[in-house]
Amino acid sequence: MSLYGAGSILAGFVGGTLADRLGRRATMLLSLFGGAAAMLGVGLAASLPQIGVATFAMGWLAEMYRPAVGAMIADIVPPADRARAYGHQYWVANLGFAIAPLLAGLAAHRSYFTLFVVDAVTMAAYGVIVLARVRETRPVDAGAAPHEQGGPGLLSVLADRGFMGLVLLTLGTATVMWQNGSALPMDMVRHGISASGYGALVAINGVMIVFLQPVIVRLLGRRSRTGVLALSALLIGLGFGLHGVVGSALGYALGIAVWTIGEIANLPTSSALVADLAPPALRGRYQGVYGMAWGVASCVGPLLGGFFLSGPGGRALWFSCFGLMVLVACGHLAIGRARERRERASATGTPTARV
């Protein structure tokens, strides 16, 4: 699983670069058809080394579509509506996550290889839809602009201090969010909650997203993005922090509900902010570097969770998550004012230094 995360880190760099150079559509096709092949490779792997190689390839290829999709949305949606657009994408993805376990259970009951075949077929079907119905959206002059302020290509992205500050804060948020799938089930087992009980509890996250996400994103769409990100960080921290003071199913449910609201507010807002900060010629790279923060967290988060649970304990882990998210909220408030000035200048065409 860590190899999948390592592959997704590479996917952010490669997918973002290809989205800017080759185009959004071509990158999505390479990712979806290549990811389908890698998925079959995982299903056919017969040894642990083979599984590791195939899993790394799957993380690399299957995740390359994300920066391309993020850049495509930025290409076609005006800034004022981007948070809502990314919210719709986030909503439909989570609707798929809600359906997937049921389909996976049916497929795995037949055979585990069938599960991988079905997954590969759905990815390939997505690719066929893109091939048949999705047009290229990359700005015409994007390919002719190989460099921006601060250096060519990726160097320009890394030199954007305001954006890299957002990436660093996203890394903190993602590291905490990854505890949901790694440390949280182990902590629940320690409190006598079964695997089926964990499944029922984490389903609260998907159900809330499906039913509340459109409403919450609509309510927050015109609010200050700095304020939304800071508040969402506090809610995520509070929700995970509650896991440190509860031990019952009801208590865990309350914590999950709180951090789910923070998640709903955070992810579409962050994606929209990345789109607003990125020059048109570098939208894919900006989305790729932003996605790399989640890839790094997918490697680091489970390791940190395991370290705490095997040493200081669950309470120390959840209180540390709360403290980290308080720092993240403060970080958003600290860099938000300069970032908002830049956003306003970008919207009016007024030149401004990147901070």
**Tally of domains within the chain:** 1
Which band of pLDDT confidence, cut at 50, 70 and 90, is reported for residue 342? low
Closest CA relative to residue 176, chosen from 243, 240, 270: 240
Domain that holds residue 332: 2-137+146-348
Residues 6+ apart with CB under 8 A from 337: 226
Closest CA relative to residue 176, chosen from 320, 292, 333, 327: 320
pLDDT of residue 347: 56
The average pLDDT across 84-110 equals: 81
Considering the chain, what is the average pLDDT of its residues?
A: 88
Is the pLDDT score of 151 beyond 70?
A: no
3-state secondary structure of 143: coil
Q: Is residue 355 part of a domain?
A: no
pLDDT of residue 150: 40
Q: Is residue 277 part of a domain?
A: yes
Q: Is residue 354 part of a domain?
A: no
Which band of pLDDT confidence, cut at 50, 70 and 90, is reported for residue 123? very high
Is the pLDDT score of 148 beyond 70?
A: no
Q: Is residue 299 part of a domain?
A: yes
Closest CA relative to residue 268, chosen from 338, 196, 195, 218: 218
Q: Is residue 317 part of a domain?
A: yes
Least confidently predicted of 43-47, 61-65, 74-78, 202-206: 202-206
Q: How far apart are CA 229 and CA 262, in angstroms?
A: 9
Q: Is residue 259 part of a domain?
A: yes
Q: Is residue 81 part of a domain?
A: yes
Closest CA relative to residue 266, chosen from 299, 286, 290: 290
pLDDT > 70: what percent of the chain? 92
The average pLDDT across 289-299 equals: 91
Least confidently predicted of 100-109, 172-181, 220-229, 316-325: 100-109
Is the pLDDT score of 262 beyond 50?
A: yes
The average pLDDT across 83-112 equals: 82
Q: Is residue 155 part of a domain?
A: yes
Q: What is the CATH number of the domain that holds 279?
A: 1.20.1250.20
Q: How far apart are CA 40 and CA 29, in angstroms?
A: 17
Are residues 225 and 87 in contact, defined by beta-carbon separation less than 8 angstroms?
Answer: no
Count other Cβ atoms within 10 Å, centred on residue 195.
Answer: 10
Q: 353 is written with which tokens?
A: 């230094």
Is the pLDDT score of 207 beyond 70?
A: yes
